[in-house]
A and B are shown apart, each in its own frame.
Chain A
Amino acid sequence: MFSGNTSLSGGVDTAFAVIIGISLFFLIGITAVIIYFIIKYNKKKNPVASEIEGSNKLEIIWTVIPLILVLFMFWIGWHSYIPERQVPADAMKIKVTAQMWSWHFEYENGKVEDTLYVPVNRPVVLNMVSLDVIHSLYIPAFRLKEDVVPGKTENYMWFKPMVRGSFDLFCAEYCGLRHSYMGTTVEVVDQATFDKWYASGPAKIDSTVAAVPGAAGKLIVEQKGCIACHSSDGTKIVGPSYKGIFGHKTTVETNGKDREVMVDEVYLKKSILEPNADVVKGFPKGSMPDYKTQLTDEQVGQIIEYIKTLGGAAEK
């Protein structure tokens, strides 16, 4: 299938082939013997059975031979695995942040993307952290997977892509409602394309766009993964949509009591920084991570600007 996509995936495929090969041999062999016995020693053909109690010789044979075979399988599996853990010194470092339900890839120059761009033929190491629950970064084409455990900083994986192309990247550890949507792609491009993309620097909003109100906020909302839970078109995903909330009254639960609040700048800021203080009615408490440490005041302001542009008070 997609053999040889990285410098190591071929070895893994060989391990698959060997183990499955030996397994098929036993499966087919034993099945054949059983069918033969059923036919040959059928009651009609063989009315009287021989009482054979066993044979130590046979027991030893069929203990030792499988033992040797499994040791071989163990070895080949381990042998093709060790290099996956030995990161070359010149590997390009990318910091991966996982959160419910989005991935962020941060490059050394501060560029943050939700798609993983990597140059072909160059080792890359991903250092992974999670902000909430366990996720698992899985690139089937590369035969690689590693969990991203919150509170741990030592989860990593490395690879050296050998072919250009676009490959699927999944979250493989169950992480809640939208686990199956927590996917993106790995784009393996040639060095020149990569360099050009890389040089475009940390995603900034150029001045023409910046003039549009809310553009900066929209970018943050996409990069920080808010869009995993909040839509801008009125559909309810996990959290309420941003569309048309600004300037309207909404019911929230504060310390177990319902109350009406006006969605204004103060309220929005509080909702983002301390989401569990006022919980919008009809939504579960504790779903939304708190962003106190992740967003600057300026950024929060930009997000609020963006939410304002999605209608609300202005329309009515």
Chain B
Amino acid sequence: MTGNTSTQRMPSYLEYQGKYTGIRAWILSTDHKRIALLYLYSQLFFFLAGLVMGLFMKLELIAPGRQIMGPATYNALFTVHGLTMIFLFIIPGLAASFGNFMIPIMIGAKDVAFPKLNLFSWYLFVFGAVIVLLGIFTGDGPPDTGWTFYAPYSLKTNTNVVLTVFGAFVLGFSSILTGLNFIVTIHRMRAPGMGFFRMPLFIWSLYGTAWIQLLATPVVGITFLMVVADRVLHIGFFDPAQGGDPVLYQHLFWIYSHPAVYIMILPAMGAITEIITTFSHRTVFGYKAIAMSSLAIAFVGYLVWGHHMFTSGMSETARLVFSFLTFLVAIPSAIKVFNWTATMYKGSISLEPPFWWAMAFIFIFMIGGLTGLVLGSVSTDVHVHDTMFVVAHFHYIVFGGAGIAFFAALHYWYPKMFGKMYNKKVANRALLLLFIGFNVLYMPMFFLGFMGMPRRYYDYLPQFANLNLLSTIGSWILATALIIIIVNLLRAKKGTPEEMDDPWGGRTLEWKIQSPPSLENFEEIPVIDHEPYELIEK
């Protein structure tokens, strides 16, 4: 094992002086670490924008009737909120930011396979985001179709669907190219001695993710193009007046968008695996099972899209098949949860903030996932489909799962990325507040859904008032907690190199190099002669 911890320190990637200075040193840099930070900042920006919209929606729903906005604004809000959160925050998600940062380091390489393509992907991402934003502020106003763009409503509405959909198409290509880059990197750039089964599990999860990005995204890309063609050229692919089949649109949309939910959650699961293993200070339990379950999720996840369409008038046979496959895809997730728990068995657990974040993740993810089973069963889904129950399910699993894992990863790798440490006490307390706020906000939605309150409802009947009020109060608690968390991260302090290089006692490669890493990560490419989580005496 050749690290450079004890030898002389190199200027970090943050300080490194290249050809350019100032902002150009960032936006023209092909260094995977700088690109990762570009993604991180843009994602956090969109995340905050989306959150504020969520907050306004909850404010509107605090009581029946009109509070602060009309129905048109509300409809536009949940559409843009969904779009921002899904396409601009959680689909690039952990892969684009932490994946970009960590893949080369964790496999012992100096960069990704195609650094320029990597930068290009970020530009596409920004370009797509700008188009989406243009769609909001120009023409006939923001789209009001929901993030699903269901035809034929999306063909009929007067709002700016074309621009938005086209923006999403561009974002899709950014995602595809990132996935492509990662696959090639993982195949070609592993350090000598690092076989596939010596890669950290975060890398495995990103590998699975990359395949989904590559194979599912083009389907929605072409679907979005068809929507544009329908609106602009009146081809009528999905317009029933011209023979188009709206249900076919839903098939195509979900052929992508179901696998997309695994694009969101797989990297999250990978990061959680790393965190739990590190803080248990032992090797991971069931390495192969976890690695293979990532691939299983990636590939079985392709075949279950129809569970979003149980009430659409699909044939009964299709409902049967999709329900069955949906239940099968829950198994690999279950395997992961069990292995995480087993990894803590006979460990030596240090209770640092990232560990608590991981625990919050497991709990909330379990609720989200288990309610997914209620949705996967046909007769129960028929009742709760398109109600607040679904909204609760996916906030639990998207925000509570992928979103919380994003912050868990941020707390875990923060010292590595910036060489700074936040206030741990504040971090723990804010997390507790977030946990409470989260459950107060979304738990009532399960009951609302079960009682029959449909989603995307601007106004509702009096019997739903109390739970909605409770939920709105939860959103304020959550907001407070998030503000504290972000401020705490911003106020992090520089630590000494000895503390920052390996603050947690991690065993994967990133903890063997200096914090923040130097431009080339490794002065000398390491030769790997041990298992990924094996204990190496220093």
Contact = CB atoms under 8 A, between A and B. Distances in A.
Interface of A: 1, 11-12, 15-16, 19-20, 23, 26-27, 30-31, 33-34, 37-38, 41-43, 46-55, 58-59, 62-63, 66-67, 70-71, 73-74, 76-78, 80-82, 84-85, 132-134, 136, 138, 140-141, 143-147, 149-152, 154-155, 168, 170-181, 183, 284-287
A29 to B, nearest CB: 10
Nearest to A28: B366
21 contacts: A26-B366, A42-B348, A42-B349, A46-B347, A48-B348, A49-B281, A49-B348, A54-B286, A54-B288, A59-B286, A59-B339, A63-B334, A133-B152, A140-B452, A144-B382, A154-B313, A174-B150, A174-B386, A177-B71, A179-B75, A180-B456
Interface string B225-247: 00000000000000011011111
Given A62-B335, A140-B452, A175-B153, A30 B348 contact: no
B453 to A, nearest CB: 8
Contacts of A30: 337-338, 341, 362, 366
Contacts of A54: 285-289, 339, 342
Contacts of A19: 373-374, 377, 380
A18 B452 CA distance: 20
A174 to B, nearest CB: 4
Given A81-B379, A151-B240, A170-B454, A180 B460 contact: yes
Interface in B296-346: 311-313, 316, 319-320, 323-324, 327-328, 330-331, 334-335, 337-339, 341-342, 344-346
A70 to B, nearest CB: 4
A149 B335 contact: no
Contact of B349 (A41, A80, A170): A41
B535 interface: yes
Interface of B: 71-72, 75, 140, 144-146, 150, 152-153, 156-158, 240-241, 243-247, 280-283, 285-289, 311-313, 316, 319-320, 323-324, 327-328, 330-331, 334-335, 337-339, 341-342, 344-351, 359, 362-363, 366-367, 370-371, 373-374, 376-383, 385-387, 450-452, 454-461, 535
A74 B323 contact: yes
Which secondary structure dominates where chain A touches chain B? mixed
A140 B383 contact: yes
Contacts of A82: 316
B251 to A, nearest CB: 13
A54 B532 CA distance: 14
A49 B534 CA distance: 12
Contacts of A176: 75, 144, 153, 157
Given A133-B152, A136-B386, A286-B158, A146 B349 contact: no
A77 B240 contact: no
A15 B459 contact: no
B92 to A, nearest CB: 26
Which secondary structure dominates where chain B touches chain A? helix
A28 to B, nearest CB: 10
B466 to A, nearest CB: 15
B105 to A, nearest CB: 24
A78 B246 CA distance: 25
Given A38-B349, A178-B71, A15 B335 contact: no
B366 A49 contact: no
Nearest to B319: A81
Contacts of A42: 348-349, 351
A33 B243 CA distance: 56
A181 B459 CA distance: 7
Contacts of B244: 151
Q: 8 tightest A-B contacts by CB? A: A140-B452, A151-B240, A77-B377, A23-B370, A49-B282, A81-B379, A180-B457, A70-B327
A12 B454 contact: no
Contact of A41 (B158, B348, B366, B376): B348
A138 B456 CA distance: 14
Contacts of A33: 341
A134 B380 contact: no
Given A23-B374, A37-B344, A46-B347, A179 B457 contact: yes
B141 to A, nearest CB: 10
A168 B153 contact: no
Contacts of A41: 280, 344-349
Nearest to B385: A145
Determine which residue in A16, A49, A150 has the highest number of CB atoms from chain B within 10 A of its CB, and name it. Answer: A49
B456 to A, nearest CB: 4
Determine which residue in B247, B281, B338 has the highest number of CB atoms from chain A within 10 A of its CB, and name it. Answer: B338
Contacts of A73: 327, 373, 376-377
B458 A180 contact: yes
Nearest to B70: A177
B367 to A, nearest CB: 7
A289 B396 CA distance: 39
A43 B355 CA distance: 13
A17 to B, nearest CB: 10
Contacts of B458: 179-180
A78 to B, nearest CB: 6
A141 B452 CA distance: 8
A287 B408 CA distance: 47
Contact of B313 (A49, A141, A147, A174): A147
A259 B387 CA distance: 45
Contacts of A12: 379-380, 382-383
Nearest to B312: A147
A154 B283 CA distance: 56
B269 to A, nearest CB: 15
A26 B370 contact: yes
A284 B338 contact: no
Determine which residue in A20, A73, A77, A140 has the highest number of CB atoms from chain B within 10 A of its CB, and name it. Answer: A77
Contacts of B323: 74, 77-78
Contacts of A152: 240, 247, 313
Contacts of A63: 331, 334-335
A11 B379 contact: yes
A54 B334 CA distance: 16
Contacts of A66: 330-331, 334
B454 A171 contact: yes
A150 B379 contact: no
B76 to A, nearest CB: 11
B432 to A, nearest CB: 15
B7 to A, nearest CB: 29
Contacts of A70: 327-328, 330-331, 373
B75 A74 contact: no
A37 B281 CA distance: 13
B327 A286 contact: no
Contact of B335 (A43, A59, A147, A180): A59
A49 B378 contact: no
A90 to B, nearest CB: 22
A65 B228 CA distance: 47
Determine which residue in B72, B374, B377, B381 has the highest number of CB atoms from chain A within 10 A of its CB, and name it. Answer: B377
A162 to B, nearest CB: 17
Contacts of B240: 149-152
A180 B311 contact: no
Nearest to A42: B349
A1 B370 CA distance: 22
B344 A78 contact: no
Contacts of B349: 37-38, 41-43, 46
